[in-house]
Structure 1
């Protein structure tokens, strides 16, 4: 996806397949496209945000097992619905909550911010480099033929999703497997990323108002990453089917 492409155009072409909504009619995806980001390494601000997220996780898990956190439990049900085993392939929110006690990873400002927002708002969040996209982001039930660029034992490898698996993809292949489990290497955020796409995934019992609040928090922190940061957002939800949208 070429640099400088209008953010509204990126979001207008994004879609969620009807078969995904048939699987989970309560699913909502908030897409946030950002450009004008100033590349850089993690700093005191991102570290402070991560420490706040770690503290919030300790409070959330005080007397509560990770799998009993309401939104985590909802995502476990969604994984089972398309044949994944949530004990083996954990949704990104559950994975972060389980790591928070020992300290969340420090990777790069963009990843650190969305990981912190994920934990603070108890919602799965993913981030991709828009400059490395081919076409538009789409959430579909996989055929099993789509390529997924990942690594095994430290070496690059191309895998394929299971047939029926819920995946985010573009014209070149899968960008994230099992809804929000593992992201591809090809589109991962880097320290030199200047344009990015963030996907915030919600199921009941998370309300759309809570999803909007998480989005506002993410945008607030992203807006501090450069003097000319531009942001666009779009909500994809099942009610768009009835009106003829994606």
Structure 2
């Protein structure tokens, strides 16, 4: 995998990403590593994704053998963060906890892109989301919702537009919410598709996760994604709730 700064629009999207002050006030320890991956070939296959999922399932079973999922340090930190903006973690589970709870019966197999990032999320115990960057309108922004933002999703098999609760932590672009409740549910509009060629991966972290731990997860992620096209390349940017961000290239 060639790792460098993205060109043009991708570069601008990463540079313009930010974490709003009200989120920083809620969790000063929050950091996000944004990883943009270009050159993916639609329908590209990764013969190792099934093996990677099995490895993640085994790691989850071992982690949970003597410890309930809600007591794992990384999961407990996210439960506390959810309570901070009024969400009930028993009913609204962050993406990491949701995957860990499914591991005993088998992680979902969707497509190589999704399977890879789900496995990396479980292996490194970090919430990790994947988005189709070509469907973005403007840079990603993490903020607390006013309650009027649009979130397009599917409910009961029907496409609907919902709205987040006021104060809810949400990822947005210029067209609306791309992910509700920090890392709970992604919008239909920007989700990864079979034809995705440019993807954005969002790696969330709270203490006790370190920046090095985030980069290690990103390194493994991009190593596996390199198999999904002959000219796959990536760029990344670390943004902290304290307002400090830098590019990695």
| Aligned: 1:21 with 2:24 | yes
Aligned to 1:240, what secondary structure does the other structure show?
A: coil
Structure 1: stretches of 5+ with no match in the other structure? none
Match of 2:179 among 176, 180, 183: 176
When residues 242 and 137 of structure 1 are mapped into structure 2, their CA distance, relative to the original with a 3 A threshold, is: closer
| Aligned: 1:53 with 2:63 | no
Taking structure 1 as the reference length, the TM-score comes to 0.94
What is the rounded CA distance, in whole Å, between the counterparts of 1:106 and 1:200 in structure 2?
Answer: 20
Match of 1:230 among 229, 233, 248: 233
| Aligned: 1:105 with 2:108 | yes
Tell me the C-alpha RMSD between the 2 structures.
Answer: 1.5
Q: How many residues align?
A: 240
What is the rounded CA distance, in whole Å, between the counterparts of 1:44 and 1:229 in structure 2?
Answer: 17
Aligned to 2:243, what secondary structure does the other structure show?
A: helix
Aligned to 1:167, what secondary structure does the other structure show?
A: strand
When residues 66 and 145 of structure 1 are mapped into structure 2, their CA distance, relative to the original with a 3 A threshold, is: same
| Aligned: 1:217 with 2:220 | yes
Q: 1:155 corresponds to which residue?
A: 158
For residues 100-139 of structure 1, what are the alpha-carbon distances to aligned partners after superposition, in whole Å with 9 as ceiling and x for unaligned? 0000000011111100000000000001001111111100
What is the rounded CA distance, in whole Å, between the counterparts of 1:76 and 1:193 in structure 2?
Answer: 32
What is the rounded CA distance, in whole Å, between the counterparts of 2:74 and 2:245 in structure 1?
Answer: 26
| Aligned: 1:62 with 2:65 | yes
Structure 2: stretches of 5+ with no match in the other structure? 1-6
CA shift at 1:191, angstroms? 1.3
Structure with greater contact order relative to length (CA < 8 Å, sep ≥ 6): 2
Q: 1:164 corresponds to which residue?
A: 167
The aligned runs of 1:135-146 (5 Å cut-off) are 135-146=138-149
When residues 191 and 25 of structure 1 are mapped into structure 2, their CA distance, relative to the original with a 3 A threshold, is: same
Aligned to 1:101, what secondary structure does the other structure show?
A: helix
What is the rounded CA distance, in whole Å, between the counterparts of 1:152 and 1:6 in structure 2?
Answer: 33
What is the rounded CA distance, in whole Å, between the counterparts of 1:147 and 1:16 in structure 2?
Answer: 19
Q: 1:8 corresponds to which residue?
A: 11
Q: 2:197 corresponds to which residue?
A: 194
What is the rounded CA distance, in whole Å, between the counterparts of 1:61 and 1:67 in structure 2?
Answer: 10
CA shift at 1:211, angstroms? 1.1
When residues 242 and 54 of structure 1 are mapped into structure 2, their CA distance, relative to the original with a 3 A threshold, is: closer
What is the rounded CA distance, in whole Å, between the counterparts of 2:69 and 2:45 in structure 1?
Answer: 27
Asked whether the equivalents of residues 170 and 181 of structure 2 are also in contact (C-alpha less than 8 Å), the reply is: yes
